[in-house]
Structure 1
Amino acid sequence: MTNLQRLQLEVKGITLSQEELSIYLMEADLNPHQEYNPQSSTSKRSIYCAALSILESIANNPSNMKNYKEDDMSVSDFAENIQSRIDQLERKIRTMKRDESDSNFFMLFNS
């Protein structure tokens, strides 16, 4: 499975071209056609960052913020639902462990 295919799994139901998805992956420092490594925390974190960028782009479209009603089905509160998902992804990204090469702390004081 490539990084592009993994991102498509993460944003299932959102229709974007492969070129658009590739741009989001490249912005997250991933090669779209490279093999996805599920053991790499950095890879997984980058996929989630790309998905977060996609959701934020969708949330920036004001025409999506309306309530829709069609026959017996209604889609309401889109803005609250997408913001809730964005918050969940941000929280997940912040709490994810990083690979050994990444540092999980910073130096507050330097002598």
Structure 2
Amino acid sequence: MSDKPLTLNDMIGGWFVGDFDPTVVKTDAFEVGVKHYVAGDKDAAHYHKIAREITLVVSGTIRMIDQVWEAGSIIDIEPGRVNQFEALTDATVTVVKIPSAKNDKYLV
């Protein structure tokens, strides 16, 4: 634990728990991130061979796995399922990946 107060801005891409650096808690059991998007932001279609990805829409409206999701929605994506993210409005999501598997993102 650091004596210096940490912020999300100290982390990379909003990820603050997992098997990477920097992190608040280093673990290969899972990853946690909070990600902010502006309307129109997109992530390329991809899948994970190992990790299960659970996304909570904290605010805004997004499109994932060909569906529209609003604040309060929880999206559970099993390994192997292709997903493409798009922010339809400004949005904030919290993402949990189980486990924290390095190099487990495969572009389609």
TM-score (norm. length: structure 2): 0.21
Higher strand proportion (structure 1 or 2): 2
RCO higher in structure (CA 8 A, sep ≥6): 2
Higher helix proportion (structure 1 or 2): 1
TM-score (norm. length: structure 1): 0.21
